[in-house]
């Protein structure tokens, strides 16, 4: 499919890498846009990020775990997400430790220093894996992580310039003008590169621009004169209902629509993309509670997933939020997902020290269930149903729940990683206003989301509505994203950099 015309340099020219001047400058969304653009232009495309640090993860069709950012990028390519698109996923458990997921499976728990020392052990595996991916696709769009100018980490880098060198990829460097200081950050990053790294950078991108680009143009010319690299695009700030970039989600604290859904902002919150589908409901507002002061009186309260259920539960107890939640749950609707579901139960037992040294912790007691943390992590894609709704999603958890007399299962899982099964999931109390599930993405399906939101509409005297199919809206927004980036970046130049003659 490719018509390769080698330009100056030694690149394999069927790949492009987006690096950024720092975290949350828009690398993920730019990669997503390029993936969709190349797909629209008729190429087979694959996203790739060698190392991702995120608590926002996903389970593939074969039960493997990967970062959510590469999931959206895979959809942009028209692909089913696969763990090889994000071979290393780091899930922080506290400020100094993380769980290492390698090729979709738990590798080990590690300190930051231990992981830093083992990076080079992964390098050969990443290189050979990448070479196999190259054989399957016309173009690979690679995403870096954080800043490539962390000079203290350069000797063991496997995700930014170290990876670019390993797989021989040309680089585009993105900066976020919305943060301020974009020229300094781009020039400073180039300054900290060595000569070979500077040669590898083929263009810069100004991201999240607001205002009149004519005012910016003199600065672009001066920047090009300083770093000797062209600016190939100024991408405007935009709002689309696509998944938030890892770590860059804005945790809004105010209700902006008639139906007020509040999510408790846990310290170790994970999988906050569980609530993206709720945003497509026009009369729904999602906000995040961080203290008693902004609890308010929501129509629905959600306890989300967390990487450390027990620590976050104890923090809610210490802050006084637990008492507010328990009082609220006497009359109003509460839903817990994964770790949030576990918190709602009577007890949480950790006999193997999976999360803490606490062998047993008292839960909120809002659901008659008991959680026991096991040694092995459950990672499954599932389909499930209840008496009035079909749901689909995925499970990522260490805990297993057992039922007491006053709790009934919320769903029955009938498909697990493509195999027919029959097992219980989640729980609902006798009154029917407190429920929990292990299924991430439960709101993505129309039926369960529509039932919950119409229940809230009915309580508020609002008109009942049919819910929209989330995946269709996501596809539309991916095309809108591609159009916006195509209009504001020199895509022909990017093809030239990759050696593709069009």
Place of tokens 């943390």: 373
* Distance from C-alpha of 259 to C-alpha of 17, rounded to nearest angstrom: 41
* Distance from C-alpha of 19 to C-alpha of 207, rounded to nearest angstrom: 12
Interior angle at CA 149, CA 148 and CA 154, nearest 5: 80
Helix (H) or strand (E) holding 398: strand 390-403
* Distance from C-alpha of 350 to C-alpha of 372, rounded to nearest angstrom: 6
Give yes or no: 338 in active site: yes
Interior angle at CA 90, CA 88 and CA 91, nearest 5: 145
Give yes or no: 6 in active site: no
Interior angle at CA 407, CA 406 and CA 412, nearest 5: 155
Set 46, 77, 338, 401: catalytic member = 338
* Distance from C-alpha of 378 to C-alpha of 364, rounded to nearest angstrom: 24
Tell me how far apart the terminal alpha carbons of the chain are, to the nearest angstrom. Answer: 11
Structure tokens at 26: 């828009």
DSSP 236-268: EP---SSPPPTT------S--SSEEEEEE--TT
* Distance from C-alpha of 105 to C-alpha of 110, rounded to nearest angstrom: 14
Q: Exposed, middle or buried: residue 143 (CB in 10 Å: 0-12, 13-18, 19+)?
A: buried
**DSSP-derived secondary structure letter, 60:** -
Q: How far is CA 49 from the centre of its chain?
A: 13
List for the chain the helix, strand, coil content (%; round to 5). 35, 30, 35
DSSP 325-364: HHHHTTTSEEEEETHHHHHHSSEEE-TT-SS-S-SEEE--
Q: Mapping DSSP to helix (H, G, I), strand (E, B) and coil, where does residue 150 land? A: coil
Q: How many residues does the chain have?
A: 502
Place of tokens 């400020």: 95
**DSSP-derived secondary structure letter, 85:** G
Catalytic residues: 338, 440
């Amino acid at each position: 499919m490719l018509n390769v015309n080698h330009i100056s340099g030694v690149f394999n020219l069927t790949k492009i890498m987006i690096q950024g001047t720092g975290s949350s400058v828009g690398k993920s969304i730019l990669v997503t846009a390029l993936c969709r653009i190349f797909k629209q232009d008729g190429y087979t495309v694959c996203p790739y990020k060698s190392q991702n640090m995120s608590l926002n993860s996903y389970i593939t069709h074969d039960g493997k775990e990967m970062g959510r950012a590469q999931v959206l990028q895979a959809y942009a390519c028209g692909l089913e997400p696969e763990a090889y698109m994000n071979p290393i996923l780091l899930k922080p458990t506290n400020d100094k430790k993380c769980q290492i997921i390698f090729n979709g499976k738990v590798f080990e728990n590690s300190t930051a220093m231990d992981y830093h020392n083992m990076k080079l052990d992964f390098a050969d595996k990443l290189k050979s894996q990448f070479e196999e991916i190259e054989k399957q696709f016309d173009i690979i769009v690679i995403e870096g992580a954080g800043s490539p100018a962390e000079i203290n980490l350069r000797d063991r880098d496997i995700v930014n310039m170290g990876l670019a060198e390993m797989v021989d990829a040309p680089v585009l460097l993105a900066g976020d003008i919305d943060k301020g200081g974009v020229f300094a950050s781009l020039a400073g990053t180039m300054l900290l590169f060595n000569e070979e790294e500077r040669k590898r950078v083929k263009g810069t991108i100004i991201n999240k621009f607001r205002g009149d680009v004519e005012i910016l143009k003199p600065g672009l010319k001066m920047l090009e004169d300083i770093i000797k690299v062209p600016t190939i695009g100024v991408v405007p700030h935009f709002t689309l209902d696509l998944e938030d970039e890892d770590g860059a989600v804005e945790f809004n604290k105010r209700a902006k629509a008639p139906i007020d859904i509040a999510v408790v902002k846990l310290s170790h919150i994970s999988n906050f993309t569980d609530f993206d589908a709720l945003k497509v409901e026009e009369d729904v507002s999602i906000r995040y509670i961080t203290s008693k002061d902004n609890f308010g009186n929501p129509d629905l309260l959600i306890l989300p997933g967390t990487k450390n259920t027990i620590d976050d539960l104890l923090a809610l107890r210490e802050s006084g939020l637990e008492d507010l939640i328990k009082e609220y749950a006497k009359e109003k609707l509460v839903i817990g997902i994964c770790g949030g579901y576990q918190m709602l139960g009577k007890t949480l037992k950790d006999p193997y020290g999976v999360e803490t040294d606490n062998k047993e912790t008292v839960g909120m007691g809002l659901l008659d269930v008991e959680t026991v943390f096991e040694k092995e992590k459950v990672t499954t894609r599932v389909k499930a149903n209840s008496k009035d709704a079909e749901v689909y999603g995925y499970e990522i958890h260490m805990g297993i729940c057992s039922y007491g007399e006053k709790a009934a299962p919320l769903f029955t899982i009938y498909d697990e990683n493509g195999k027919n099964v029959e097992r219980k999931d989640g729980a609902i109390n006798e009154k029917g206003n407190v429920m929990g599930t292990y299924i991430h993405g439960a709101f993505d399906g129309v039926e369960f989301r529509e039932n919950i939101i119409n229940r809230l509409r009915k309580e508020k005297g609002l008109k009942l509505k049919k819910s929209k199919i989330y995946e269709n809206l996501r596809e539309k927004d991916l095309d809108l994203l591609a159009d916006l980036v195509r209009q504001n970046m020199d895509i022909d130049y990017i093809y030239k950099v990759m050696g593709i003659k069009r």
